[in-house]
């Protein structure tokens, strides 16, 4: 029996949550993680030795789901695998919307007992329409509602990124690392073995979710490849989709079988499929973060001609190399642009041939940066603009004279608001990394796509530009 949209929505946007089987040995992680939930949280625990610790947290405990006075929308199950089928049966009887089976030790082990238990769970859940997430997964993270599976995950902030992950660790890392980059999830699901709900089910949900603007996915394999292909094509026509396929090597494929019991297929087949459906492939967490950031914070362009602003001659060379290696062109500017630049540009220790070596010119008068932006914006030879923000030379100065950094941010934001051309910046790590980190966080808070290297900036913009513009 298919899980209905109403049942899935109850599970993924719950109003009442229950945690089954949490223990002191785990530090009551699940219950503590749910402390920020925007609604009632209940515990289900029959072990008398565990109940006092639960009650000390201020969370009411019951011996059974059916004893809870509210209708439970979402439950987390953290019990031994032999007990899991009984818990699933209890969820069915209590009309729970959905349940995450954190418990592992099922088909991914290759053991007969694990396979038998997983089949038993399927036989209970499937006819009932229960929205079962897992087993062998971390489950659900909805920051806006305070639903978390790790206490360090953000809560109370409404994000705009949907993330579907076959790995709990990658899902957790995306939420934590993303938050450090100013990126927050609308809904994140780690689904593990996915015996009832698969990646396609979550993709369909996120495609229709008004809070979700872009979708990221980590996947190892699929039971129904044709359905996933069809769903991805439909979803990618509505929203940008960025896919990280695990098991990119022969050894990685073997690791998949013992992780989620998925059947890995050739990486080249996946890459071709991803391209065909209109999604973009990435290959690690950093690249996922970068491309999501560029997708959300930069405008789309059909062209590949870039205007570059650097702070030194040497950096202008490697900045250009990085972008051209990623598929961009750094062309000459128009004659009109050169004529305008020649009126004020300081060529002693600088150059305005594109890339523009502009530190001396901007240092002479910060308003010159606004003029440079206006010239690049009007130049028909330029489709996008990138800029080096030199932490090596400027981070300490920004720290000592914050008004200069405020002025810089004002110039960047003015260009971004007035131009249809994408803009991004690169701010390398620095010998004064604390100051550089503060600057990087401030740029992110102001919605400026900022990357820690030229190569990552170039690759992110190139891949984000490969995504079709979606209304």
Instruction: Check whether the bond before 229 is cis (ω within 30° of 0).
Output: no
pLDDT tens digits along 365-397: 999 999 999 999 999 999 999 999 976 667 777
Instruction: Give me the CATH code for the 137-297 domain, please.
Output: 3.40.50.261
Q: Which whole-number Å values give the CA distances from 425 to 154, 296, 444, 465, in the listed order?
A: 26, 14, 10, 16
Tell me what pLDDT residue 392 has.
Answer: 66
pLDDT for 312 equals 87
- Cα-based distances in Å from 329 to 32, 88, 355, 389: 51, 57, 11, 20
- Residue 84 tokens, joined: 């899991």
The Cα–Cα gap between 228 and 283 comes to 19
Q: What is the pLDDT of residue 267?
A: 79
Q: Average pLDDT for residues 75-101, to the nearest whole number?
A: 98
Q: What is the dihedral of CA 54, 57, 59, 65, to 10 degrees?
A: -30
Q: Do the bridges between strand 98-101 and strand 41-44 make them parallel or antiparallel, or are there none, so unpaired?
A: unpaired
Assigned CATH class of 300-465: alpha beta
Helix runs in 162-312, H state only = 168-180, 199-207, 225-236, 250-259, 267-277, 285-297
pLDDT band at 85 (very low <50, low <70, confident <90, very high): very high
Q: For residue 24, what is the DSSP state?
A: G
Q: What is the pLDDT of residue 470?
A: 43
pLDDT tens figures, 129-178: 999 999 999 999 999 999 999 999 999 999 999 999 999 999 999 999 99
> Which tokens in the block code for residue 48?
């008398």
How large is the average pLDDT for residues 7-21?
A: 99
How many angstroms separate the CA atoms of 212 and 4, rounded? 20
Nearest alpha carbon to residue 318 among 462, 457, 466: 457
- CB 383 within 8 Å of CB 462: no
**Segment (H or E) for 306:** strand 306-310
Res 264: pLDDT: 53
pLDDT band at 253 (very low <50, low <70, confident <90, very high): low
DSSP 395-430: HHHHHH-HHHHHHHHHHHHHHHHH-SS-EEEE----
pLDDT band at residue 401 under the 50/70/90 scheme: confident
Q: Which two tokens stand for residue 195?
A: 């015996």
Query: Could you tell me how many residues make up the chain?
Result: 471
Q: For the chain, what are the domain ranges?
A: 1-134, 137-297, 300-465
Residue with tokens 């013992």: 258
| Cβ neighbours for 285, distance < 8 A, ≥ 6 positions apart | 170, 173, 174, 177, 244
Buried b (16+ CB within 10 A) or exposed e, 93-104: ebebbbbbbbbb
In three-state secondary structure terms, 189 is strand
- CATH class of residue range 1-134: alpha beta
SS (H, E, C) 140-173: EEEHHHCECCCCCCCCCCCCCEEEEECCHHHHHH
Contact 118, 194 (CB under 8 A): no
- Position 471 scores a pLDDT of 41
Q: Using the predicted structure, report yes or no on whether residue 1 has a pLDDT greater than 90.
A: no
Instruction: Kindly report, residue by residue over 48-74, the tens digit of the pLDDT.
Output: 999 999 999 999 999 999 999 999 999
């Amino acid at each position: 029996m298919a899980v209905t949209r109403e049942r899935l929505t109850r599970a993924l946007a719950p109003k009442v949550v229950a945690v089954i089987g949490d223990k002191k040995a785990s530090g009551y992680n699940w219950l503590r993680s749910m402390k920020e939930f925007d609604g009632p949280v209940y515990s289900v625990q029959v072990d008398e030795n565990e109940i006092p610790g639960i009650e000390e947290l201020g969370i009411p405990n019951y011996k059974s789901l059916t004893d809870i006075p509210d209708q439970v929308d979402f439950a987390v199950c953290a019990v031994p695998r032999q007990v899991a089928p009984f818990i699933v049966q209890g969820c069915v009887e209590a009309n729970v919307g959905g349940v995450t089976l954190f418990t592992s030790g099922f088909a991914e082990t290759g053991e007969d007992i694990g396979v038998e238990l997983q089949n038993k769970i399927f036989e209970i859940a499937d006819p009932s329409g229960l929205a079962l997430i897992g087993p062998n997964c971390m489950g659900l993270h909805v920051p806006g509602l305070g639903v978390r599976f790790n206490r360090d995950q953000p809560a109370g902030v409404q994000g705009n990124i949907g993330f579907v992950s076959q790995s709990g660790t990658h899902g957790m890392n995306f939420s934590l690392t993303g938050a450090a980059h100013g990126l927050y999830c609308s809904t994140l699901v780690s689904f593990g073995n996915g015996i009832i709900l698969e990646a396609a089910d979550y993709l369909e949900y996120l495609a229709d979710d008004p809070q979700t603007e872009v979708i990221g996915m980590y996947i190892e394999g699929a039971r129904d490849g044709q359905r996933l292909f069809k769903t991805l094509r439909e979803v990618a026509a509505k929203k940008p989709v960025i896919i990280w396929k695990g098991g990119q090597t022969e050894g990685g494929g073997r690791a998949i079988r013992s992780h989620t019991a998925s059947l890995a297929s050739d990486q080249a087949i996946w890459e071709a499929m991803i391209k065909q459906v209109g999604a973009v492939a990435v290959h690690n967490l950093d690249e996922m973060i970068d491309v999501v950031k560029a997708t959300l914070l930069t405008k789309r362009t059909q062209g590949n001609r870039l205007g570059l602003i650097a702070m030194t001659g040497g950096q202008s060379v490697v900045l250009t190399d990085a972008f051209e290696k990623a598929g961009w062109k750094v062309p000459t500017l128009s004659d009109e642009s050169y004529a305008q630049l020649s009126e004020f540009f300081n060529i002693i220790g600088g150059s305005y041939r594109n890339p523009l070596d502009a530190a001396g010119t901007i240092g002479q008068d910060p308003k010159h940066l606004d003029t440079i932006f206006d010239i690049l914006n009007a130049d028909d030879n330029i489709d996008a603009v990138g800029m080096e923000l030199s932490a090596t030379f400027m981070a300490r100065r920004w720290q000592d004279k914050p008004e200069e950094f405020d002025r810089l941010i004002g110039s960047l934001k003015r260009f971004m608001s007035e131009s249809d051309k994408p803009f991004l910046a690169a701010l390398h790590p620095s010998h004064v990394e604390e100051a550089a980190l503060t600057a990087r966080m401030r740029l992110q808070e102001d919605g400026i796509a900022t990357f820690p290297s030229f190569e990552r900036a170039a690759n992110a913009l190139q891949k984000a530009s490969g995504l079709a513009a979606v209304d």
